[in-house]
Amino acid sequence: MNYIANVGLEVHVQLKTRTKIFCGCPTTFGAPPNTHVCPVCLGYPGAMPAMNAEAIRLTVLSGLMLGCQINPASKMDRKNYYYPDMPKNYQISQYDQPLCLGGGIEITLADGSKKKIGLTRIHIEEDVGKNMHFTASSGIDFNRAGTPLMEIVTEPDIASADEAMAFLEALKEILAYGGVSDVNLEEGNLRCDVNSSVRPAGQEKLGTKTELKNMNTFKGVHRALSYEIARQISELEKGGRIRQETRRWDDLAGVTLAMRSKEEAHDYRYFPEPDLLPIVLTQAQVTEWAKALPELPEKRRARMMSDYGIPEYDAGVLSADKALADYFEATATLVKNPKAASNWIMTTVMAKLTELHLTIGEVKITPAQLAKLINLVEAKTINLPTAKEIFELMFAQGGDAGEIVKAKGLAQVSDAGAIEKIVDEAIAANPKVVADYKGGKEASFKFLVGQVMKLSKGKANPALANELLKKKLG
Amino acid sequence: MSSPDKIDVRYVAHLARMHLADGEVARLQPQLEQIVGYVQQLGELNVEGIEPTAHAIPVQNVFRADEVRPCLDHDAAMQNAPLAREGQFIVPKIIE
Ligand SMILES: [Zn+2]
């Protein structure tokens, strides 16, 4: 029998604020345990939370980028439960009036077709502390407690592990573009709960779902979901049934396991947070914030293809990172052949970034300087190998390509008379190779071209050298 | 709204992590029902056309600027901890 999987994600994203959501403690990662804490985020009785305006603005921006409706009236609620990493015994979250409603992301499937994954809502809440396990006890660090999170909840529209991966990649790209989150997975900026169920093809009603909690890598989500969907199908094929439960992904064993803790029906007893007042967003306010929105990756890809005439592949690579796309566009507008700019950035520049673990922002060569270098090649003032040499110099110390060419005497020799002299020299110095060539050995020609380039110290215009050599050898 | 005679005192006590003796359950049962019953009188009011509100005062959008403030000194933060280790609050082992 064929089965259809329905997967919904709850993605928790850390917002890029300087301070926590309800207090002035910094959100910087990696501080010694319990040094970024205060009475508010330690949950001392009587300490009063104060809403960080930036958390609201960043969530609204995210909602706008993801096509959500911005809720004009929103409020905070208490979600009550006990866990050692949550000092107040309730989490301040949003229940029935989240900041954003609806929306969705279009993902590209393996066959190139598009599919929209719908969003249910986005709400804001505070993060909990971090726990660490000792042999006979656990330790709690509250530095992370109170970090502002937005929870992005999807509809159960995702049908496979690949689609979940595509959704997460697209989401990460958009959020990074908007500058609303650092989306640094290593630092736990993006974690998700995965709800999945399967149903026989033809059955309308969704199957019983299981929940995988706190997944923090995309690869983990993909592997866990592949396993979980297969597990559920095989369970049903055996005539078994799926228990509604929370499961844990064991990355080493490559399996999902039912959590050991007793599964209780959740009874969070949500009620309005008395210490925080309602949030009312006017259309004027939202419009004002919307001015800070960047062009989104999907749109930018299409525009870059039409504006610069670059292939879809190039546009995809260059638009994946906002700073890289900005760098490309700044360069492309200054060169005669934008495809050359794309080639340079995708190969030479990006290889350097990978090699030296740099980001595009740390590159010393400005787009204007790179454009000048590219134009020197296009105008045949220098050849490509020389240009690569100059690039290395510029990469190390910055500088102007034209000046380096002048200072080092690297300008390409395109003067036929001068090259002819060198060609004659090469022919005179290699009578045996010339004889081989005349005897039909094609490879000898390449050798002679190499000799011409060497004698010219790499400056000869290769096309011209070829042409003259051919002519001389008859 | 559910009728007050359905209060499950043991369940409510469990949610509050309270241990009650049988006698206490018996004593609290009518008391809780009486309290909830009293509040439920509000259900008799006609509230048609009245916007629900979570707050008694008509104030909204009270925000704080995203500016770092001094934190608690680490030693002060830990001084009430019954147990601490490596800068962390120690709790009974968490089982997942
Ligand atoms: Zn704090």
The answer to whether B6 faces chain A, any CB pair under 8 Å, is no
Q: Is B62 in Cβ contact with A277 (below 8 Å)?
A: yes
**B2 falls in which pLDDT band (50, 70, 90)?**
very low
Where do the DSSP E strands lie in A82-215? 90-93, 100-101, 104-108, 114-126, 130-133, 137-141, 148-154, 190-200, 210-215
Closest alpha carbon to A281 in A69, A90, A134:
A69
DSSP string, A289-322: HHTTPPPPHHHHHHHHHHHH---HHHHHHHHTSH
Chain A: closest CA distance from residue B60 (Å): 5
Residue A120: phi and psi, rounded to 5, are -85, -50
Q: What stretches in chain A show pLDDT beneath 70? A: 260-265, 410-414
So what's the pLDDT on residue B83?
95
| Arithmetic mean of pLDDT, B24-41 | 93
Q: Write out pLDDT tens, residues A436-466.
A: 888 888 888 888 888 888 888 777 777 788 8
Per the DSSP assignment, residues forming a β-bridge with A197 are A6
Q: What does the alpha-carbon distance between residue A453 and residue A386 come to, in Å, rounded to a whole number? A: 11
Q: Is B63 in Cβ contact with A53 (below 8 Å)?
A: yes
Q: What residue has token string 């330690």?
A: A42
So what's the pLDDT on residue A17?
98
Residues bordering ligand 1, an ion, CB closer than 5 Å: A 23, 25, 38, 40-41
Chain A: closest CA distance from residue B16 (Å): 9
More confident residue, A119 or B16: A119
- pTM for the complete prediction? 0.80
Mutate to test the interface with A, among B66, B68, B78, B79 (most CBs of A within 10 A): B66
**B1 falls in which pLDDT band (50, 70, 90)?**
very low
- Spell out the domain ranges in chain B: 9-43
So what's the pLDDT on residue A78?
96
Q: List the domains of chain A with CATH numbers.
A: 3-289 (no CATH), 297-408 (no CATH), 416-473 (1.10.10.410)
* pLDDT above 60 (res B5): no
CA distance between the termini of chain B:
35
The answer to whether A139 faces chain B, any CB pair under 8 Å, is yes
- Nearest chain A residue to B79 by CA: give it: A34
Closest alpha carbon to A41 in B21, B56, B77:
B77
Identify which of B77, B83, B95 has the shortest CB distance to residue A260. Answer: B95
Q: Which residues of B touch A51 (CB under 8 A)?
A: 62-64
* Amino acid at residue number A327: Y
Task: Lowest mean pLDDT of A54-63, B50-59, B84-93, name the range.
Answer: B50-59
